[in-house]
A and B are shown apart, each in its own frame.
Chain A
Amino acid sequence: MDYLVAVLLPQLLHGFVFGAALGLLALGLTVIFGLLGVMNFAHGELYMLGAYAGIVVIGVTQSFWVALVVAPILVGVLGALTEATMLRPLYRREPLYGLILTFGLALVLREGARQVWGGDMRRIPAPFTGSTPLLGMTYPDYRIFLLAISCALLLAIWLFFTRTRAGVLVRAAVQDAEMLDGLGVDVRRLFTLTFAGSAALAALAGLLLAPVFTVYPQMGVEMILLAFIVVILGGMGSLGGSVVAAFVIGIAQSLFSLWMNPQRVAIAIFGIMIVVLIVRPRGFFGREGVLE
């Protein structure tokens, strides 16, 4: 019982926290892939820029909360500019070019961040410290806040896609962008805004996780690999699948790390993916013929 409360439960909660944040990242990746056919390799760098933009805004305003609003907007604007100048010319070409272009963009952003902010690890202090007794243990307040806000965001995204006109339009564009264009919707603007939104979500995830993890130019690389695994596991283009897979991976990662050293955890995660792909080649919720 002690083991359960003192070790297992906190680790399980860590897993939920991490899974929720991973979900924010993977959702943006899935939507962009479904909409634009581009697997965005620079998504991890947008996540990283979110954290650095947060550091800059906190430096100016001394407020984590202002940064939480301003940093995603800054990165979202960068995302919109990227989409309009670099990705838009590629839509009529093979998906391969989008993949390769975003890989180049990731190199530029990563190295750019290293030049501007240096390569050393940084930390953003949590906006509040302290812990709360929870289910017989004490759990840090910031992580509770993180779990709450991530889940609220996931819920808001779900409501956006099911209850608002804009969300329905995005889903319609995933199905058939040409038809939507024919129906008189400004698809180009829709693409740009969706890309900006996905970039802002990645940045938000980066800043939210920064007080828990460390901030460094390479931080996006590890996360993007996990996000790729999540997207594959959930089923390409399936929004719900991405969220479920994010929680599975997040929880698996933190529970495994109780019993294994980090490299075994990484290999175990890959193992989960391979087993799932053998049993269900399209992931949890992937349907035949979708985005293939």
Chain B
Amino acid sequence: MSRTLGWRAAPVFAALAALPAVPGMTDYYLLLAFDALLFGAVAMSLDLLIGYTGLVSFGHAAFFGLGAYATAILLERGILSLWASLGFAVVIVGLYALVVSYFATARRGIYFALLTLVFAEVVFTFFRYTQTFGGSDGIQGVPPPELLPGVTLDTPMRNYYLIVVYLALAWAACRVLVGSHFGKVLVAIRENEDRARFLGYNVQRYKMAACMISALLTGLGGALYPGRAAFATPDLLLWTVSGEFIIMVMIGGLGTLTGPVIGGAFFIVLQEKVSSYVDWYFIVIGAVLILIVLFMPKGLLGLRRLLGARPWRATA
């Protein structure tokens, strides 16, 4: 049990917990760290699909954005409990993911990517043009959620700790998942779908389950976002955001859990830093992506081997 939970990660989380105590830590950097860890966790959930199951989802922005809208809709209507919005997000994202994964996993390969993309575009179009939910402006200026009655998540510090806890729980869940029999079947499907089917596994059901788990983890991450940003806008649902999630996974390293977390954090910091100097940061990000695909297909974690570390186990 201790091995599957990976106690080596404990010092990392201890360091994350101690981060706000670092001298000179401003609210700006805490919020940057919030984004880095949040999108790191989202990239990790996406890698369950891409890296482990071999399904490229181009629609994860819809899961994230639906989670964010679920929270924002409740907050706007005066329901401030964080737990209510997390529950609401699970229901909304779960129902949507059920439909998408049913259609998308019925087909192989490129169809999965395109169908998730098109379904996500339906969600985007719906929120973009529905005035009840603010149309193109989205839902702005929502009050901060309450962890418990009276305990409001209104400071960057509290939000930051919330996201550290979320990352830790999501990481532990993924870790248990990929180490389990279920996780091994997913890898088997990635490696050879027909063989997995001949062995008697109901491949589509496994794929749907992987898709649902990944979607729900992403949706929960999205549900935590309005607490920090005080808004949910249709821009969160854009398919280019789904593409950015994939970039994060690629930067970090496919088929690992740690890689995408690093990749997500790296992407957020890169975007923040580059965009504060130049306004053409998309060129930088696109070029980084091209170079990684061409020369570093294992992502940042692939560097470990160059540095003489043990080869990374792709299947954990």
On A, residues with C-beta under 8 Å from B are 33, 39, 41, 86, 89-90, 93, 95-97, 99-101, 103-108, 110-112, 114-115, 221, 225, 228-229, 231-232, 236, 261-263, 266-267, 270, 273-274, 277, 281, 291-292
- The answer to whether A228 touches B289, judged by C-beta atoms less than 8 angstroms apart, is no
Question: Is B230 positioned at the interface, with any CB of A under 8 Å from its CB?
Answer: no
CA distance A66 to B56 in the complex (A): 42
Neighbour of A107 across the interface among B125, B285, B297, CB < 8 A: B285
- Residue pairs across A and B with Cβ atoms less than 8 A apart, 22 shown, are A93-B297, A100-B250, A100-B293, A103-B246, A104-B289, A104-B290, A106-B286, A107-B243, A107-B289, A108-B282, A111-B282, A114-B280, A231-B114, A236-B110, A267-B122, A267-B125, A270-B118, A273-B118, A277-B103, A277-B115, A281-B106, A281-B107
Question: Is B117 positioned at the interface, with any CB of A under 8 Å from its CB?
Answer: yes
Question: Is B108 positioned at the interface, with any CB of A under 8 Å from its CB?
Answer: yes
Shortest Cβ distance from residue A256 to the other chain B in the assembled complex, whole angstroms: 13
Question: Is B129 positioned at the interface, with any CB of A under 8 Å from its CB?
Answer: yes
Which B residues are CB-close (under 8 A) to A89?
294
Give the interface centre of A107, A108, A277 by most chain B CB atoms within 10 Å: A107
- The answer to whether A270 touches B103, judged by C-beta atoms less than 8 angstroms apart, is no
Neighbour of B290 across the interface among A86, A228, A274, CB < 8 A: A86
Which B residues are CB-close (under 8 A) to A262?
129
Shortest Cβ distance from residue A214 to the other chain B in the assembled complex, whole angstroms: 19
Which B residues are CB-close (under 8 A) to A261?
129
Shortest Cβ distance from residue A225 to the other chain B in the assembled complex, whole angstroms: 6
Shortest Cβ distance from residue B141 to the other chain A in the assembled complex, whole angstroms: 24
10 smallest CB-CB distances across A and B, nearest first, come from: A104-B289, A107-B286, A263-B129, A108-B286, A111-B282, A104-B286, A101-B293, A104-B290, A266-B125, A270-B122
Neighbour of B115 across the interface among A39, A97, A103, A232, CB < 8 A: A232
Question: Is B111 positioned at the interface, with any CB of A under 8 Å from its CB?
Answer: yes
CA distance A148 to B246 in the complex (A): 41
- The answer to whether B293 touches A292, judged by C-beta atoms less than 8 angstroms apart, is no
- The answer to whether B293 touches A97, judged by C-beta atoms less than 8 angstroms apart, is yes
Which A residues are CB-close (under 8 A) to B50?
96
- The answer to whether B283 touches A111, judged by C-beta atoms less than 8 angstroms apart, is yes
- The answer to whether B290 touches A101, judged by C-beta atoms less than 8 angstroms apart, is yes
Which residue on A lies nearest to B293, using beta carbons? A101
Neighbour of B103 across the interface among A96, A100, A101, A274, CB < 8 A: A274
CA distance A100 to B122 in the complex (A): 22
- The answer to whether B243 touches A103, judged by C-beta atoms less than 8 angstroms apart, is yes
- The answer to whether B122 touches A107, judged by C-beta atoms less than 8 angstroms apart, is no
- The answer to whether A225 touches B283, judged by C-beta atoms less than 8 angstroms apart, is no
CA distance A99 to B242 in the complex (A): 13
Neighbour of B113 across the interface among A99, A112, A281, CB < 8 A: A99
**Beyond the given A96-B50, A100-B289, could you list 10 further A-B residue pairs with CB under 8 A, ordered by the A residue number?**
A89-B294, A95-B110, A99-B56, A103-B289, A225-B117, A228-B118, A232-B115, A232-B118, A263-B126, A292-B107
Neighbour of B283 across the interface among A39, A93, A107, CB < 8 A: A107
Which A residues are CB-close (under 8 A) to B283?
107-108, 111-112, 115
CA distance A101 to B108 in the complex (A): 20
Question: A112-B283, A270-B121 given as contacts; is B289 within 8 A of A101 (CB)?
Answer: yes
Question: Is B311 positioned at the interface, with any CB of A under 8 Å from its CB?
Answer: no
Which B residues are CB-close (under 8 A) to A273?
118
Which A residues are CB-close (under 8 A) to B179?
none
Which A residues are CB-close (under 8 A) to B109?
95, 291-292
Neighbour of A228 across the interface among B107, B114, B126, B129, CB < 8 A: B114
Interface positions, chain B 82-139, Cβ under 8 Å from A, are 103, 106-111, 113-115, 117-119, 121-122, 125-126, 128-129
- The answer to whether A108 touches B107, judged by C-beta atoms less than 8 angstroms apart, is no
- The answer to whether B115 touches A225, judged by C-beta atoms less than 8 angstroms apart, is no
- The answer to whether A39 touches B106, judged by C-beta atoms less than 8 angstroms apart, is no
- The answer to whether A110 touches B282, judged by C-beta atoms less than 8 angstroms apart, is yes
Question: Is B287 positioned at the interface, with any CB of A under 8 Å from its CB?
Answer: yes
Give the interface centre of B107, B117, B287, B290 by most chain A CB atoms within 10 Å: B290
CA distance A112 to B118 in the complex (A): 26
Which residue on B lies nearest to A108, using beta carbons? B286
CA distance A97 to B290 in the complex (A): 10
Question: Is B247 positioned at the interface, with any CB of A under 8 Å from its CB?
Answer: yes
Shortest Cβ distance from residue A248 to the other chain B in the assembled complex, whole angstroms: 16
Shortest Cβ distance from residue B212 to the other chain A in the assembled complex, whole angstroms: 19
CA distance A103 to B293 in the complex (A): 11
- The answer to whether B290 touches A105, judged by C-beta atoms less than 8 angstroms apart, is yes
Shortest Cβ distance from residue B253 to the other chain A in the assembled complex, whole angstroms: 13
CA distance A261 to B294 in the complex (A): 44
Which A residues are CB-close (under 8 A) to B282?
107-108, 110-111
Which B residues are CB-close (under 8 A) to A281?
106-107
Question: A39-B114, A106-B286, A292-B109 given as contacts; is B280 within 8 A of A97 (CB)?
Answer: no
Which B residues are CB-close (under 8 A) to A33?
110
Which residue on B lies nearest to A263, using beta carbons? B129
Which A residues are CB-close (under 8 A) to B121?
225, 266, 270
Give the interface centre of A90, A103, A105, A112 by most chain B CB atoms within 10 Å: A103
CA distance A151 to B142 in the complex (A): 53
CA distance A112 to B286 in the complex (A): 11
